Amino acid sequence: MNYGKITAVIPVREGSRRLKNKNVAPFAGTNLLLNKIEQLKKVPEVNKIVVTSDSDTMLEMARQAGVDIHKRAPEFCDEKTKTFGEVVRHVAENVDGDHILWATCTSPLVFPNVYRQAISEYIPALENGYDSLVAFERIKRYLWDDNGPLNYKLGLEHVPSQQLPDLYVVTDGILLAPREKMIEWSYFHGKHPYKFIVDKRTAVDIDDGLDLATARAWLDMDESVSHILPFSKGTM
């Protein structure tokens, strides 16, 4: 099926508020950025890989790894000067390809076979009326906001967690949409995304030191524990 070219975009920036230099934190014998580049190189459906950053150091790493680079002006790496939507639109306008796979290096446990499965489900999803694909983790937890319970009732109507309605957490691992739509939306997915369900391991996103330790622990587990199905199919 000819669905056009897919460009994988790895967004990184200088520094981090919670975990210093997290995008190049040591991981799997290399660092998070190079780990993600190598994972995406093993996905034949991806036609081009672009690292977008304000960091000359990280851009040079990417160049030496053999992928394309996009130098972002500092204002497009700071939420105080540009909104997140403006950043997404700016990046989408400055790369080519028909579709963009937004692939953060802080989701290091999204392996090549998971990307390939997501892409194989993405095109039929578009044909069936979905506008994009998002990797979600399905959860069943008792949730509150400041006004009380969100998804369950107290007292005699309380139900076991298995009976709670499905809720979905957006992960940063896989966000896939037509490039022109990303520009139109100023966002990396639309209002009607296909839910590509991933497990807890695949959903790990590194935001602080504990997240990094968790990802390393998952990676280092022996085969009997870590050999988990890396995805489960979404619903169409």
Q: What does the pLDDT look like over 194-230, one tens digit per residue?
A: 999 999 999 999 999 999 999 999 987 744 344 444 4
DSSP conformational letter for 232: B
C-alpha to C-alpha distances, 67 to 40, 63, 70, nearest whole angstrom:
10, 6, 10
Cβ atoms within 10 Å of 82's Cβ, excluding its own: 18
Report the C-alpha gap between 2 and 234 in whole angstroms. 22
- In three-state secondary structure terms, 197 is strand
Q: What is residue 117's predicted lDDT score, i.e. its pLDDT? A: 97
Cβ atoms within 10 Å of 109's Cβ, excluding its own: 25
Q: What is the mean pLDDT of each run of 10 residues along the chain (236 residues)?
A: 87 80 93 97 97 95 97 81 90 96 97 97 96 96 94 92 93 96 96 96 93 91 46 44
Q: What is residue 203's predicted lDDT score, i.e. its pLDDT? A: 94
Q: What is residue 231's predicted lDDT score, i.e. its pLDDT? A: 43
Q: What does the pLDDT look like over 8-32, one tens digit per residue?
A: 999 998 867 778 889 999 999 999 9
Q: What is residue 77's predicted lDDT score, i.e. its pLDDT? A: 77
Torsion angle of alpha carbons 202, 66, 98, 33, nearest 10°?
A: 30
> Is-contact 56 50, C-beta < 8 A?
no
Q: Is the dihedral of CA 216, 218, 223, 229 positive or negative?
A: negative
- Residue carrying structure tokens 């036609």: 47
Tell me the HSE value of 23 on the side-chain side, using a 13 A CA sphere: 23
C-alpha to C-alpha distances, 53 to 79, 87, 90, 170, 204, nearest whole angstrom:
14, 11, 12, 23, 22
> Is-contact 215 171, C-beta < 8 A?
no
Structural domains in the chain?
Answer: 6-222 (3.90.550.10)
